Amino acid sequence: MIRVAIDGPAGVGKSSTSKALARHFGFAYLDTGAMYRACAWWCLHQGIDLDGDQVDEQQITEAVAEFFTGDHFDIGVDPDHPSITADGEDISEAIRSSEVSSHVSKVSNVIPVRHVLIAAQRAYIARESAADSFSLGRGIVAEGRDITTVVAPDAEVRVLLTAREEVRQAGRTGQA
């Protein structure tokens, strides 16, 4: 199995590049940023207050742990139809809302949450080595911040995408 890890700041084309590579080689595609967004969505839907200056890190960590270990979360790894579900409900669009976007850092900044997510991301990557996985054991393209240094530092292919600020800004606003 070949693991491709693609890292870089927002707006450099990580998602489009990762999906294209996965599609071309018949690999699975994993959007690790979407996993963090899904955790923020889950916390908000569990009624956890993420608006204060101080958040309840233990409550957030326990909610996120339950999200993954309680079989509430799933992520589709088809690059043509990546999806995120919570309790069977497709939340792929909901996790891109401004409400979720404005709360992601409150969840992702909790160190134990990062540990839960790193373990989950590694499990999804490892799952693709199985002959009955989406990629039939061929490989996976995983993209997101810290994927090349923390989540999959031993990936066979590690890519850091960069772009000039004006290109990144155009990418973030959909003008690229």
What pLDDT score does 9 carry?
Answer: 86
Per-residue pLDDT of the chain (176 residues), as tens digits, is 999 999 998 888 899 999 999 999 999 999 999 999 999 999 999 999 999 889 999 999 999 999 999 999 999 999 999 999 999 999 999 999 999 999 999 999 999 999 999 999 999 999 999 999 999 999 999 999 889 999 999 999 999 998 787 766 676 565 44
Edge-to-edge strand list for the sheet holding 28-31: 28-31, 139-143, 2-7, 157-160
**Cβ(1)–Cβ(124) below 8 Å:** no
Q: Comparing C-alpha atoms, which of 10, 4, 1 is closest to residue 162? A: 10
Cα 106 from Cα 68, distance rounded (Å): 18
What pLDDT score does 87 carry?
Answer: 97
- Domain holding 74, by residue range, is 2-172
Q: Comparing C-alpha atoms, which of 108, 118, 116, 107 is closest to residue 148? A: 118
pTM of the model: 0.91
Query: Any idea how long the chain is?
Result: 176
Contacting residues for 115 by C-beta, under 8 A, at least 6 apart: none
* Number of compact structural domains in the chain: 1
CATH code at 110? Answer: 3.40.50.300
Strand 73-76 to 83-86 pairing: antiparallel
First-to-last alpha carbon distance for the chain, in angstroms, is: 33
Strand 139-143 to 2-7 pairing: parallel
Exposed / middle / buried, residue 91 (Cβ in 10 Å: 0-12, 13-18, 19+): buried
